[in-house]
Amino acid sequence: MSRISLYIPLGVFAAILGLGYVGFDLGARNELPSALINKPFPEFQARLLDSPETTLTREDLLGRPTLINVWATWCPTCLSEHEQLMQIAASTDVVIVGVNYKDQPNKAKQWLAQYGNPYRWVLDDRDGLLGIEMGVYGAPETFLLDAQGDVIYKRVGDINPRIWRDELAPRFRQLGIAMAMGNTDVGANK
C-alpha cells in the first residue's frame, strides 16, 4: 500500500463526522415538507364556526392571496403566535382564514373573544378531516395560497417575528399584498 492510501480510513472517518455535524445541525429535520407546495389547495367544504349553516369551499379562497392558519384552543403555541397574526391582519390586507382544528366550537369562540379575531372566516374542523386533506399533523400550521388557490408556502410551527420577516413578508411582497407603508417589519422588534 502506498503512503497516501493509508490516510483513506482517516478521510472516511472525517467525512462521516462531517456528515453527522451537518446532518444533526439541520434545524428542520423534524419538519415534513408539505406535499401540497406548488399544488392546488384541496377541494373542501367546511362550516363556519360562528354560523354553522354557512359553508365555505375552495372557490371562496380564489381571486386573492390567502393565509390559512390551523389552530386550536388546546395548542399553546397557537396562543403564542396569535399576537403576530393579529398584527398581520391589522397591517396587511391579506385574507386570513382560520381552521379550528379538532377543537370544541364553544371554547374556540370564547378564545377568539378573549384574544381577538384576526380571521376573516374560521372553519369548524372539529373532526380534523379538513386537516387530513391539508396534510396537517399538528397545530399550528400555516399555508400561504396565491390568487389561483395554489399553496406556495407552508409553515409547521408558530408564526413568529423572524418567520414573518424572513419567510412571509417577502412572499407577501411577491404576491403584491398591500402592507402598511414603511412597516414591512411588522412585529419584528417586538
Partner 1 sequence: MSLLGRSMRFGYIPNAFRRIAALVCVCVLPTGAVMAASQIDTFSFTDEVQERRYRALIEEFRCPKCLNTNLAGSDAPIAQDLRKVVYRLVVTQGMSDQEVRYYLQARYGDFVLYDPPFNAKTWYIWLVPIALGVLALFVLLRLVRGARSSATVLNAQQQERLQEIVGNTAGSSDR
Q: The cell 445541525 sits on which residue?
A: 25
- 33 touches partner 1 by CB under 8 A: yes
Question: Rounded to the nearest whole angstrom, what is the least distance from the CB of residue 151 to partner 1 in the complex?
Answer: 12
Grid cell of 134 as nine digits: 391539508
Nearer to partner 1, 17 or 32 (CB): 32
Any contact of residue 137 with partner 1 (CB under 8 A)? yes
Q: Which of 67, 70, 134, 168 binds partner 1 (CB under 8 A)?
A: 134
Closest CA to 56 of 22, 91, 99: 99
Lookup result for grid cell 403555541: 77
Contacts of 181 (CB under 8 A, 6+ apart): none
Binding mask 101-120 for partner 1 (x = CB under 8 A): -x------------------
135 — alpha (psi -120 to 50), left (phi > 0) or beta? left
Q: Are strands 95-101 and 66-71 parallel, antiparallel or unpaired?
A: parallel
Of 63-71, 81-89, 92-100, 124-132, which part binds partner 1 (CB under 8 A)?
124-132
Cβ proximity to partner 1: between 12 and 147 the closer is 12
| H/E run at residue 133 | helix 129-133
Residues in the chain: 190
Quick one: which segment of 86-94, 126-134, 170-178, 180-188 binds partner 1 (CB under 8 A)? 126-134
Q: How far is the CB of 22 from partner 1 (least distance, A)?
A: 14
Site for partner 1, rule CB under 8 A: 1, 30, 32-36, 42, 102, 128, 131-138
